[in-house]
Structure 1
């Protein structure tokens, strides 16, 4: 059982382990002095959805073939259940990724150093949100984890990009990397922790938002992401077999790695800036409010991670997640306790997804892509800002309605106490 291996000594060792397969490809490119080839490879990885063979050295193509061949044979029913969960709650998953998964990753003092060194998020704060969301869409769309699926291709690219970043950081003579203190860049523990932000942390986020999932749905979601972990090069011993093990692994890594860092604060500030660009002006304070909602939770063992990351104090938008929680708890009073809360969540999360479809990614990057059937399922119109504006006004009206409900209930509670 993998969890029996998860001791501090074992995890310390994992901080010295990287990814020999992908690292060997990048090492060869650099040692052969093919700087132009490295630059072409990185541009190809960034700018294209596929990996055209005419632009890649033969041994890069060998890497792609070998990693494609190693894609695990998956239980089609379990995979279908996991991907169906994304069909149902994709916009909410996107919101959790932006407001919970990413800031949770920035709270890891050692792991965040790599992201800070690359600097791309601070220059273009929306980019990390795009890249994270695009990987999830590619992986969790039907067919994405077939050997030639879009999700497998995206994961192969991310694995090579990790190796290239790892090489450049380890060979940066101007700013030497302190492997003894930080571990190797993008090491196995940090890779496992990142995998859990897509897998278990998303399940935590759904629970916090009172999206009730069956145990079968939770296991299916984890099953799909365990497959991604294998494709992206996570050590088999760090891939949980079930939700309980995922919980154990996530908590252990948090205990070991969550701590204050200036870099984590800077990355979180850039993330908030980026997410504000994807939300209506009316809801400018929503990113900070939502991050507080998720990172003030009990699973952080008394540590207020949002305050540690210096997230601005919530404004009036803090009522939104609290209203979702409040309405979801009013089973007897509301009757259908999920309808209003679910409607409010979908208004907000659809705005974020539509913002991603409307905002330019910058440079020569391919645009953010969501398959048509998911856009139809989520009722998203990618090209109409008018629809966006209408949904924003509906969001405002719904929020006002929720606030009035909460105020009335509080007054009733006070009257009962007086009586």
Structure 2
């Protein structure tokens, strides 16, 4: 058997990641600033409501917003059609498992980042209407991973690209709103929805999903996993993540994930609160009252004891031992 070559990796210094906390997304931030200057805070809030809706009629927006969509609905230079499609095929094949990872691994993984969790908590929508936010996140993830949504277009732009570009503006809006209230400590926490946090979120939805699926003993090839990572890299660079913070392979993803976790993972009131709200929302999907503790057991199994403890996820040893043998559809219905 031919021995696989060890893939090269960059290393991400503490200073580099610290600097990235002071960086947002200038292109999207400029667009949101123009919206504010033209229609004021009330108009910007109305625009934000459009951004979070399943409405892709971008031709009815302000002229410079239309220009934003026209100019940025393009694939990045590193895009490889075959790899990208292979990543989409992988997602279609493992939809139910990815849905499980989304709720029980990706989101709590993000909440473990104490400084990044602050903006999620301050936005209030997650704590107050977690189920709706969870459904919106699911719609985005499975929308951009749906091959059909890369073929169906609205006024010449694929629906999947419109989803991505809308979320990019939504992130810029959240940055604007959070800074406008002047309670955000930029010096200590970095910008709201900054580059390090966006890079961490990319990992949560790509590499960390792969790690969780392997932990659940799912079978797939290294090539499929690399393709899935490539697909998310393409999505995230279009969403405004600095290309220098996108892992070029799974080994590099491991290195970056460790670097960010070392800097950001710790117990916080916001992370614990978000996780508690998420668990409550997931439990609402389960009809059988005897299975209500299963989401927390899945979380502890997938996240590992250290991260689960810092998020104060309830410990259910019996259910946790049973988790590897529980069919996802039997519990959550997806």
* TM-score of the two chains, using structure 2 as the length reference: 0.91
> In the TM superposition, what are the counterparts of 1:348-367 in structure 2 within 5 Å?
348=331, 351=333, 353=334
Of residues 43, 58, 61 in structure 2, which corresponds to 1:37? 43
Of residues 263, 272, 276 in structure 1, which corresponds to 2:283? 276
Asked if the contact 2:58–2:66 (Cα under 8 Å) also holds between the matched residues in 1, the reply is no
Is the alpha carbon distance of 1:58 and 1:203 closer, same or farther for their aligned partners in structure 2, counting shifts above 3 Å? same
> In the TM superposition, what are the counterparts of 1:105-254 in structure 2 within 5 Å?
105-145=110-150, 148-173=157-182, 176-254=183-261
> What is the match of residue 296 of structure 1?
304
Larger radius of gyration: 1
> What is the match of residue 347 of structure 1?
330
1:77 aligns with 2:110: no
Which is bigger in relative contact order (C-alpha 8 A, separation at least 6)? Answer: 2
For residues 165 and 3 of structure 1, what CA distance do their matches in structure 2 show? 33
SS at match of 1:166: helix
For residues 316 and 149 of structure 1, what CA distance do their matches in structure 2 show? 46
- What's the CA shift for 1:170? 0.9
For residues 269 and 246 of structure 1, what CA distance do their matches in structure 2 show? 28
User: 1:330-381, CA deviations, whole angstroms, 9 ceiling, x for partnerless residues?
Assistant: xxxxxxxxxxxxxx244335x1x3xxxxxxxxxxxxxxxxxxxxxxxxxxxx
> What is the match of residue 266 of structure 2?
259
1:60 aligns with 2:65: yes
- What's the CA shift for 1:316? 4.6
RMSD: 2.0
Is the alpha carbon distance of 1:129 and 1:243 closer, same or farther for their aligned partners in structure 2, counting shifts above 3 Å? same
> What is the match of residue 6 of structure 1?
12
For residues 9 and 35 of structure 2, what CA distance do their matches in structure 1 show? 37
Asked if the contact 1:68–1:148 (Cα under 8 Å) also holds between the matched residues in 2, the reply is yes
Unaligned 5+ runs, structure 1: 298-303, 325-343, 354-419
- What's the CA shift for 1:315? 6.5
User: 1:250-307, CA deviations, whole angstroms, 9 ceiling, x for partnerless residues?
Assistant: 111111110110111000000000001112323111111111111226xxxxxx1112
Asked if the contact 1:293–1:321 (Cα under 8 Å) also holds between the matched residues in 2, the reply is yes
Is the alpha carbon distance of 1:199 and 1:51 closer, same or farther for their aligned partners in structure 2, counting shifts above 3 Å? same
Is the alpha carbon distance of 1:348 and 1:71 closer, same or farther for their aligned partners in structure 2, counting shifts above 3 Å? farther
Asked if the contact 2:9–2:251 (Cα under 8 Å) also holds between the matched residues in 1, the reply is no
